[in-house]
């Protein structure tokens, strides 16, 4: 078998919005992402980010500390917008902003990277998140396109979750986590295992990321469907 050759063409056409008030950080990310084949758009404050996110954006890299509108409120407004509410968001935070980082995850950020960050790690996370979304969109090729659990109807092809005909907004990570747990119902998964399966890379943070996403899911669906197995992790309660 020959060596693996990375083809940057798989990233062509993907547009990433870089939101940071520090020009040197935007320039660094712009150079490296465009070298990988991505197209980048820049915003230096929260208001400009909200103006530009209305364009056709595939992913946002969002700094927490921003002029005009901070990253938390930008994230919140996006998640409350029906048209762009499922936009993948990676949040940039300082190491001292632990509480704000958890709040960011609560508000719907899919991932976070602490400053100062390793550029290669951030790009790896961007690729992993976009790849996850692409894989979920390819679910339509599978035989089972609709999953029904109690009053929930999960459409794999359309990437939607409905309860009693009302659509429940889901971020990409929430959707992937829910589908994974349902497809492996009654199996217990540790937080580390869920990080590996859903995030798809070696996670440098802690397992509270999983806890936050589980907590968000429980607020959106029947909380009794996802069980905590003390000292082990989580499982989806099998529904006969």
* Residue 92 neighbours by CB distance under 10 Å: 25
Looking at the domain 142-236, which fold is it? Arc Repressor Mutant, subunit A (1.10.10)
CA 123: distance to chain centroid?
14
Q: Which two tokens stand for residue 191?
A: 């937080």
- Nearest alpha-carbon partner for 173 in 209, 142, 203, 143: 209
Residue-wise pLDDT tens digits, 29-56: 999 999 999 999 999 999 999 999 987 8
Q: Given a cut of 70, is residue 240 above it in pLDDT?
A: no
Average pLDDT rounded to a whole number, residues 213-220: 94
Q: What whole-number distance in Å separates Cα of residue 217 and Cα of residue 222?
A: 9
Contact 145, 156 (CB under 8 A): yes
What's residue 56's pLDDT?
87
Indicate if the pLDDT at residue 139 is higher than 50.
Answer: no
Could you tell me how far CA 39 lies from the centroid of its own chain? 19
pLDDT in the model for residue 6: 41
Tell me the CA end-to-end span of the chain in Å, nearest whole number: 46
Asked if 210 contacts 195 with a C-beta cutoff of 8 angstroms, the reply is yes
CATH class of 8-136: alpha beta
Q: Mean pLDDT, the chain, as a whole number?
A: 85
pLDDT of residue 62: 97
Tell me whether strands 189-190 and 233-236 are parallel, antiparallel or unpaired.
antiparallel
Q: What's the order of all strands across the beta sheet hosting 166-168?
A: 146-149, 152-155, 160-163, 166-168
43 forms beta bridges with 19
**Which has more pLDDT, 145 or 127?**
127
Q: Which of 106-110, 125-129, 136-140, 225-229 has the highest mean pLDDT?
A: 225-229
- Secondary element (H or E) of residue 135: helix 119-137
Gap between the Cα atoms of 59 and 82, Å rounded? 16
φ, ψ (nearest 5 deg) of residue 45: -150, 170
pLDDT at 58 over 90: yes
The fraction of the chain above a pLDDT of 90, given in percent, is 51
pLDDT of residue 136: 59
Using the Cα atoms of residue 118, residue 120, residue 124 and residue 130 in order, give the sign of their dihedral. Answer: positive
Stretch 83-92: mean pLDDT: 91
Q: For residue 206, what pLDDT band results from cuts at 50, 70 and 90?
A: low
Q: Hey, where are the domains in the chain?
A: 8-136, 142-236
């Amino acid at each position: 078998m020959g060596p693996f050759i990375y083809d940057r063409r798989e990233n062509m056409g993907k547009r990433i919005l870089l939101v940071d008030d520090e020009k040197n950080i935007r320039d660094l990310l712009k150079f490296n992402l465009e070298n990988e084949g991505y197209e980048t758009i820049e915003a230096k404050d929260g208001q400009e980010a909200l103006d530009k996110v209305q364009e056709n954006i595939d992913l946002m890299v969002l700094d927490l500390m921003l002029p005009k509108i901070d990253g938390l409120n930008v994230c919140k407004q996006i998640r409350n917008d029906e048209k762009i509410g499922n936009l993948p968001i990676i949040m940039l935070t300082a190491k001292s902003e632990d509480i704000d980082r958890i709040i960011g995850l609560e508000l719907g950020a899919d991932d976070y990277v602490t400053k100062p960050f390793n550029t290669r790690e951030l790009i790896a996370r961007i690729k992993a998140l976009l790849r996850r979304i692409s894989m979920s969109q390819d679910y339509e090729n599978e035989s089972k396109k609709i999953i029904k659990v109690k009053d929930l109807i999960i459409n794999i092809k359309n990437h939607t979750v409905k309860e009693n005909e009302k659509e429940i907004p889901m971020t990409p990570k929430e959707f992937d986590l829910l589908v994974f747990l349902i497809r492996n119902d009654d199996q217990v998964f540790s937080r580390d295992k869920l990080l590996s399966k859903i995030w798809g890379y070696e996670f440098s943070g802690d397992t509270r990321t999983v806890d936050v996403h589980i907590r968000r899911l429980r607020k959106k669906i029947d909380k009794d469907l996802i069980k905590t197995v003390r000292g082990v992790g989580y499982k989806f309660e099998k529904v006969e």
